Amino acid sequence: MRVYFRTGRISVDSETANRLLSKADFSTDEVTGLRQCISHLIQEFCKKHSRSLIQLCFADWVIGREFCSPEAPKCNTCPISEICTSWGMEAGKMLIEPKSNQGFY
């Protein structure tokens, strides 16, 4: 989710963005809604570009783990920095996945 927000592949309204930046709690329904939006986007992208969900999800997972960490992103070495809308921003100003008040993912 963080990678999709930061790269600009999905956008949220200013109220949601401010809640994400302030690390406010999100309800389970809100988190589910955001995940559903991203899931739909992934499916549409894969259809349009004839890619498998596994290929895209794996690439995003690697980027999120190796380059786009929540607190210390490595923008200068990221392979998608040229298309990232958050490139060069301070980590505290980049969107991250919502905090959920539930203990499960």
What are the residue ranges spanned by the domains of the chain? 2-98
Q: Which phi and psi angles does 74 have, rounded to 5°? A: -105, 65
Q: In the prediction, which pLDDT does 99 show?
A: 78
Q: In the prediction, which pLDDT does 80 show?
A: 94
Q: In the prediction, which pLDDT does 100 show?
A: 73
- How far lies 62's CA from each of 3, 22, 84, 104, in Å? 10, 26, 15, 22
Q: In the prediction, which pLDDT does 104 show?
A: 54
**Calculated CA dihedral for residues 93, 24, 105, 103, nearest 10 degrees:** 140
Q: In the prediction, which pLDDT does 103 show?
A: 54
Q: What is the mean pLDDT of each run of 10 residues along the chain (105 residues)?
A: 93 94 92 93 93 92 95 95 93 89 57
Q: In the prediction, which pLDDT does 75 show?
A: 95
